[in-house]
Structure formats: structure tokens, C-alpha cells
Structure 1
Amino acid sequence: MTHLKQQPFIKYDAVNQKNHIFLLLLTGLGILALLSMLLAVGLGTVKIPPDIAYKIIAYKLFHLNIDNVMSQVSPAHMDIIWQIRLPRVILSAVVGAGLAVCGTVMQASVQNPLAEPYILGISAGASLGATFSILIGSTAGLFFGLGTAFWAFIGALGASFFVLILSGIGGRMSTVKMVLSGSIASALFIALSNLLVYISNDAEGIRSVTFWNMGSLAAAKWDNLTLPVFGVTLCCLFFLSQSRTLNTLLLGEEAAITLGINLTKVRRLYMIITALITGLIVSVCGIFGFVGLVIPHVVRGLVGSDHRRLMPGTILIGSIFLIWADVLARIILKSGELPIGIITALVGAPFFMYILFKQSFDFGSK
């Protein structure tokens, strides 16, 4: 009897220990994310020591002239840190968190471990919008006063609504119909983009389209950070509050319906939000993948599939991953920089193969 009475206390202690370990891990990841941002602003074609970068940022943000930094730093270094690298690092952290969260939500919503933000054809829609703006829509852009980012955003939104409408035809929306609708949308929009490229005679425009489709954070500026930061922050806060619903979705459609979840309503809401955020990100940075596919599986291997732990871990590790992917894109070539989409693919594909063959997906099993 004494042994039986002690079991609940043993279980309670184990839960407390697990929570304590998770909090330590989360704290460590938060510190690592901040250190990554500080180190990343000093790396590039022109290397600037981290202590100088910190003093420049402190001066610009709080007007703290630490160790009389203004007399030690050249105006060129000041401009590099404040006008170029810091907005870029902030954008990389925000985009990494946003794509990783969207991937986590989509994998739970469609119950498919291979889902990512682009599974619904969002990237293809954005590519079509950008291609139209660059190759054919220059006249329309001048007429309406709208740029490539706007048309990419409109293309991403159009693709998401196309998939939602297509998957809802003929009855209740299902995971299989959504995935198949995404495949149809991707094929259709990619074909239309290729058609625009084929009939265009603008060699410089074709080069711009190619670079757009490989993704880049080079366009990061203070004046275009507000919308991505605000949108991704709201998205992360919302999905942090949806952990219980996301955990329920992992149990399967029948179990979720039995527990009172309106699957059609919840999936439509989650897909619209992820489409909006992905379209917003693509409109600023172009297209690059594997972040929303790989990062959620990496975090599941660390903390399990409970979204109360998975979601905050995904936000931090997604930010850290893209910060350093952008650093590699900046320093790997001496004559210029690689598009970040190439870096994420080269790093993400082998790592995902390792997860696939050496470990299980651990999708909803913890």
C-alpha cells in the first residue's frame, strides 16, 4: 500500500523535472538567439568586432556613448551596422520564426509530417505575382503605383483562397483534398509563371525573376520591417494560445470531432492565417523553403510533439537557423552573396534526410 501511495508523488516529481528541463532549454535558446543576432551583425564582407557592434547598437537605440564609441568607429561602419545589417538580422529572425511556426501549424492541421508553408501552392502563387510584376506588369505597376512585393503578396493570397475553395468543393474539406488542391495550385501557377518567362524578351527581367525565386534578405530596411515584424508577432502569439487545439488535431479527425472541434472552421482559420503570414514573408524576401519543413521535426526531437513546448521551441530555433543561414549566404562568397534559398536547401535537405532515415517523425507520438 505504501508503494501505491508514493506513485502519484513520483509521477508529479517527474513532471516537474521535465518542466524544469524545458524551461532551462527555452532560456538557453533565448540567450543563443540574442547572441546569434549580436554576432551576425558583425559578420559579412566587412568584419566588425561584436563589442563594437554592440556599442553602435546601444548608441543608436539608447544614445549610450559607451567607451566613447563615436570617436572609435568610422561613419561607414556605423552605417553598415545600423542601416544594413541590423534590419537584415532582425528580418531573418522574424522570417525564420514565422515560417517555422506556419510549418508546425500546417503539419498539425493537415496531419501530414511533410507539410510546410508552401504545400498549398502559396510559393507558386507568389512567384506568379512577382513574375507578372517584373516581366509584364511594369506598365501596370506604374499605373497603380504598386511594386513587385505587392504583386507577390496578392499572388500568395490568391493561391491560398484558390486552394481553400477547391478543397471545399463537393463536401467537407479534408486533409487529402487540401494537399491535392495544393498540388494542383502549384502545378497551375508554376506553369503560368513559366509561360510568362517563355514569352518575355526581357533578359534582365528573367534574371530578376530567377533571383526572386531563390530568395534573399538583402532588401531588408527599417521602413519595410514594420509589417513583417507586426504580422509574425501576432501570428506567433495567436498560435501559442492554440496549443490545446493543435494537440487535439494530432489525434485524428474522428477524435477531434468527438472532442468538439469544428475541423472545417479550425482548418480554414489556420490555413488563412498561415497563408497571410507566408504571403507577407514572401512579398519581402522572395521564396525559400525547408525552414517550415525541417525545424518543426528538429524541435520535436528535442521536446516532443506537445505544442505547449513545441511552439515556443520552434519560434526560437527557427529564428536561430535563419540568422546563421543568412550569415552563410553573406560570407561564403567573397565576390557577393548567395541567395538564401540555396543555403536553406543545401543545409535543410541533408538534415531532413538524416531525420527521415535515422529517427522517426515522432509525429504525435509524445
Structure 2
Amino acid sequence: MRQSALIKDKGRLQSQPFYVFVCVVMLGLLILSALAAVTIGSMDLSIRDVYSVIGYELFHLDSLSAYARGAAHNVVWLIRFPRVVMGLAVGMGLSICGVVMQAIVKNPLAEPYVLGISSGASLGATTALFFGLGAVLGGSGVGVCAFIGAFLISMLVVAVANIGGPANSVKLILSGMALGALCMAFSNFMVFMANDPNTTQQLTFWMLGSLSGAKWGSTLVIFVVVAASTLFFWSQHRPLNLMLLGDDVSITLGTNLNTYRHVYLVLTSLIIGLCVYASGTIGFIGLVVPHAVRMVFGTDHRKLVPLSALTGGIFLIWADVLARTLLPETEVPIGILVSMVGAPVFIYMMMRKSYGFGGGE
């Protein structure tokens, strides 16, 4: 009797009206979180200050011309708001990448950090900084190197997992963790060898994660790419759902998933490269957020993709608020705080042996 009641409750949570209601609520929470986060910091700002500055910059209303300059304008528009938008974009991007990777390898433990792809992107970025490739390749040089690092490591993880037999989810996780540790070792070595204090500070930024470098130019590009990618993966809910069923079932239904996997891998590598370029290495968002959403709404990617994107954005916005307000006159690297949440969740999932979407190995 109790089991049937639980099944009925779960079905109600996964129903279409409830899903639409939650999406509307989450979107409202996202907007409120963004506005509230801008008000929090060493300089006290009211909600009126925030929406007045943003309203002037977006619509140039004469009634808000008093907010066109001054301390409040500079703090809101040049420092905090781009940082909040960057946190939203990075949180969405890493969460979506986690959802897609978990479908590709059919394992809810998969995510950019665990599979070593974030570490590969970080290695690419630190290599560019260490050897001065950013000056040679232009302003986007570090981002290009981060993408190359993420893509090469993703290919290498798959290749290593196929050694000695076909890859399975456990081999992918283990090869990703090993290669991720190797990438971090090389990155740490470059930090150790860097003699220039500015270079050392930049390299440390990539290792620990921070949103303090958010500027409107890069923020808007990353936000547009992540938003477009989210819509794309939302439209791909059918192939993503088929991946959970396996290649045999998909071939029976007339779909070859190999092409989809390659396209998804390239696109997720691009997103991860951009996120690491903007914020450094931030681990476990792609694990924690999809797991929490999946517990409530199940494995249907038509619901999982948008809700994970919204939840990831809200999560990282408030993680960044905590990072810059937890200690007076200093900022805690956001990667440290997120890992403090993500690592216990990873251990919990390992203890439950939740290696498959059906709950077992």
C-alpha cells in the first residue's frame, strides 16, 4: 500500500502541469536570485538601485538618468551584474554538460570534473598563460586553448577506456579521474615553475575557480553560447533518452547514436572550455544539479535539461555570493566551496552504487 502511494506521488511530481509550474517558479527564483545577488556585497545597495541602474543601461530612460554614473552604477553594472550573469551562464553550462555526459556514458556519476574534461580545459588555459600564447593568438587565445584541452582529454578518456576491451561506464569514470589527476599535476607544475607573480596569480585563478574576472565582452558571448546550447540539447531529448536504453534498442528503433555522441562531445567540450576560460575549474556542479533534478523528475531529458539549467544557474549565483561574503575583505575561491558540496554527494552516490539510471550497477 505504501509503495503504491509512493509511486503515485512520484508520478504526480513528474506530471506535465507540475513540471510547467516548477519551471515558472524556478525562472522566477532565478530572476530574484540575480537581482538579490547584485545587492549583496561590501557596498550596500537596494533593489531599487539595482533595477534602476540595469533599467537605465538597457533602455536609457530619462527618468533613470541619475543612475547613469556614480559609485552605484559602477558597482552594479561594471562589477556585480556581469559577475552574476557569468555565474548564471557557467552554472547552466556545467549542469547541461553533466546531463549530456551522463547520458552518453549511461552513468549518473559522469560529469566534466570527474571525467577529467574540466581539468583538461584548465591545463589548456594554464599552458596558454604559462607560455604566453594568449598574446600570440589574441584575446581569445586562452579560450581556444581551453577548448582544445577539453576536447583532447575527452577523446583520450574514451580511448583509454577502450583499452583491453569495450569501454563501460566504470572504465570511463576511472580513466577520466586518472587523466584529470594527470592534467592537474601538469597544471600545478606550471604554477610552481612560474616566476612572474602576475602569471602565478592567473594560473592560481584557473586552478581554484573564481568569477571575479567577469567582463561584459566575454560574459555575453558565453551566455549566448550556453543559452543556445541549452535549447539545442532540449531539442535533442529523444536521442538523449535513447542513449539511456542502449545502442541495441536505438538501432532497433532506427537510430544510430554514434554520430550523436560525437556531436554532443564536441559541443560539451566547447561549453566546458568557455566555462573554464571564464571561471577556472569548478567541479561537481554537473554531478550535484542533475542528480537533484533527476531524483524529483526522473530521467526524461525533455524535463531534465531545462530544469538542470535553471537549477545550476541559481546554485552558482548563490555559491558566488557566499564566496565573496563568507570572509571579510577577502574572497574564497568558488571552486573550493562547490567541491565541499559536490564531493560528499559523489561519495554518497558511490556508496549507493548508483552507477546506472535504473539504480543498480
TM-score by length of 2: 0.85
Structure 1 residue 83, shift from structure 2 partner: 1.1
Structure 1 residue 287, shift from structure 2 partner: 0.6
Of the three residues 136, 145, 154, the one matched with 1:151 is: 145
Q: Deviations over 1:166-192 (max 9, x none)?
A: 567899776566445534532443343
Of the three residues 207, 210, 214, the one matched with 1:216 is: 210
Deviates more, 1:207-216 or 1:330-339: 207-216
1:111-260 aligned within 5 A: 111-135=106-130, 137-138=131-132, 140-145=133-138, 148-163=142-157, 175=169, 178-179=172-173, 181-202=175-196, 205-260=199-254
Letter in 2 for 1:317: T
CA distance in 2, matches of 1:266, 1:127: 26
Unaligned runs of 5+ in 1: 1-10
Q: Deviations over 1:12-51 (max 9, x none)?
A: xx88992111111111111111111111111111121112
Aligned residue number for residue 100 of structure 1 = 95
Of the three residues 329, 334, 339, the one matched with 1:345 is: 339
Structure 1 residue 316, shift from structure 2 partner: 0.8
> Are residues 1:88 and 2:75 paired?
no
Q: Say if 2:109 and 2:349, in contact at 8 Å, map to a contact too.
A: no
Instruction: Decide whether aligned partners of structure 1 residues 157 and 330 sit closer, same or farther in structure 2, where only a CA change above 3 A counts.
Output: same
> Are residues 1:277 and 2:267 paired?
no
CA distance in 1, matches of 2:175, 2:352: 31
Percent identical pairs in the alignment equals: 45
Unaligned runs of 5+ in 2: 1-7
Of the three residues 53, 57, 60, the one matched with 1:60 is: 57
Deviates more, 1:33-42 or 1:140-149: 140-149
Q: Say if 1:228 and 1:280, in contact at 8 Å, map to a contact too.
A: yes
Name the SS of the counterpart of 1:363 in structure 2. coil
Instruction: Decide whether aligned partners of structure 1 residues 328 and 359 sit closer, same or farther in structure 2, where only a CA change above 3 A counts.
Output: farther
CA distance in 2, matches of 1:361, 1:165: 21
Deviates more, 1:251-260 or 1:294-303: 251-260
Of the three residues 288, 291, 302, the one matched with 1:294 is: 288
CA distance in 1, matches of 2:260, 2:166: 13
Structure 1 residue 348, shift from structure 2 partner: 2.8
Q: Say if 1:173 and 1:264, in contact at 8 Å, map to a contact too.
A: no
CA distance in 2, matches of 1:194, 1:329: 23
Aligned residue number for residue 316 of structure 2 = 322
Aligned residue number for residue 42 of structure 1 = 39
> Are residues 1:331 and 2:325 paired?
yes
Of the three residues 255, 279, 303, the one matched with 1:261 is: 255
TM-score by length of 1: 0.84
Q: Say if 2:143 and 2:273, in contact at 8 Å, map to a contact too.
A: no
CA distance in 2, matches of 1:129, 1:233: 24
Deviates more, 1:55-64 or 1:159-168: 159-168
Aligned residues: 349
1:15-30 aligned within 5 A: 18-30=15-27
Q: Deviations over 1:268-321 (max 9, x none)?
A: 221111111111111111111111010001101221111111111111111110
Structure 1 residue 193, shift from structure 2 partner: 2.8
Instruction: Decide whether aligned partners of structure 1 residues 48 and 184 sit closer, same or farther in structure 2, where only a CA change above 3 A counts.
Output: same
Q: Say if 2:82 and 2:214, in contact at 8 Å, map to a contact too.
A: yes
Letter in 2 for 1:281: C
CA distance in 1, matches of 2:13, 2:304: 17
Q: Say if 1:251 and 1:364, in contact at 8 Å, map to a contact too.
A: no
